[in-house]
Amino acid sequence: MEELKTLLFDIQPFSVHDGPGSRTNVFFVGCPLFCKWCANPEGFGSRKHLMFAESVCKYEDGCNVCKNICPYDSISYDEKGKPSVNWKKCIKCTTFECSTICPNNVFKVCGKEYTVAELYKMLLRDAQSWSAGGGVTFTGGECTMHYDFLLAILKKCKAGLIHTAIETCAYCPTDHFLELFKYINFAFIDIKNMDDERHKEGTGVSNKLILHNIEEVVKSDWHGRLVLRQPTIHDYNDSDENAKKIVAFMKKNGLFEINLLKFHRYGQTKWEQLGKTYEYADKGDMTQERMLELQTMYLNEGIAAYIGDDTPF
């Protein structure tokens, strides 16, 4: 039987904000949502793709090493010699010659294929750095999209007594979700907007399956720790009304922890480097005052609300 493989866009050791202790974060390529604020847009798509870091190009110093390298004629040059990428042509590339030639790493390939055995070996390499109950966090992109691969690596981790965490949008078939959770110790699950129309507007999909999956996990005999997570965005999901609906949902399901992540634009440059339009460039900022007001609302309802990196592990 052919060995399972998947595409990852990063493996980051020494993470301390994505589960207990010091951890290794594994980022999967691919996501069923398309959140307008996404901070990891290199996780979009289902195949290897290019990032073009125009700002570090040395064309002004006379560099033109990449000239004629692209077999698809996707790179063009203006009168000053500044290169740009034709994304419509580039999207079909499988060979990425440009990434091998630029001395300044202007062209970077997102996505590298791993087998389960290769990833597990990488995790064992990091194991010495996992302190205070650390382990591995599967994230992305959306790791549950890679059901067979994720289930296989989770089973290996469980057999190896490795602590497992997941960061997920919970948009996957319910039977997959419940099966995966049998091998997960800790979960951050995103809850972006309780209003279905606004959820579709911000993410491209309905929230119904997501809410259903959360309810099903709670009803199951899973014994891990679940913290809901909300990327908190001005004029999108920071209203009292939305918070009240989340509180009601949490109380109904016996959930009592939420992590509020203040909206930021750290992903903007990456959107540009991928040739995508970042619609949230001019989105209003969340004030710290509003974050604290929301936190107080939850606390008054008996729900522990943590802002940013303050989730205790």
Binding residues for ligand SF4, rule: CB under 6 A, are 50, 57-59, 63-66, 70, 72, 74-75, 83, 85, 90, 93, 96-98, 102, 104, 106-107
Closer to ligand SF4 by CB, 76 or 220: give it: 76
Whose Cβ is closer to ligand SF4: residue 53's or residue 178's? Answer: 53
Nearer Cβ to ligand SF4, position 93 or 184?
93
**Nearest to ligand SF4 of 37, 59 (CB atom):** 59
Residue 49 CB, nearest approach to ligand SF4 (Å): 8
CB nearer ligand SF4, residue 7 or residue 214: 7
- What tokens appear for 135 in the block? 């382990």
Minimal distance, residue 87 CB to ligand SF4, in Å? 8
**Least CB distance to ligand SF4 at residue 6 (A):** 21
Output the smallest distance, CB 11 to ligand SF4, in A: 22
Q: Shortest approach of ligand SF4 to residue 83 CB, angstroms? A: 5
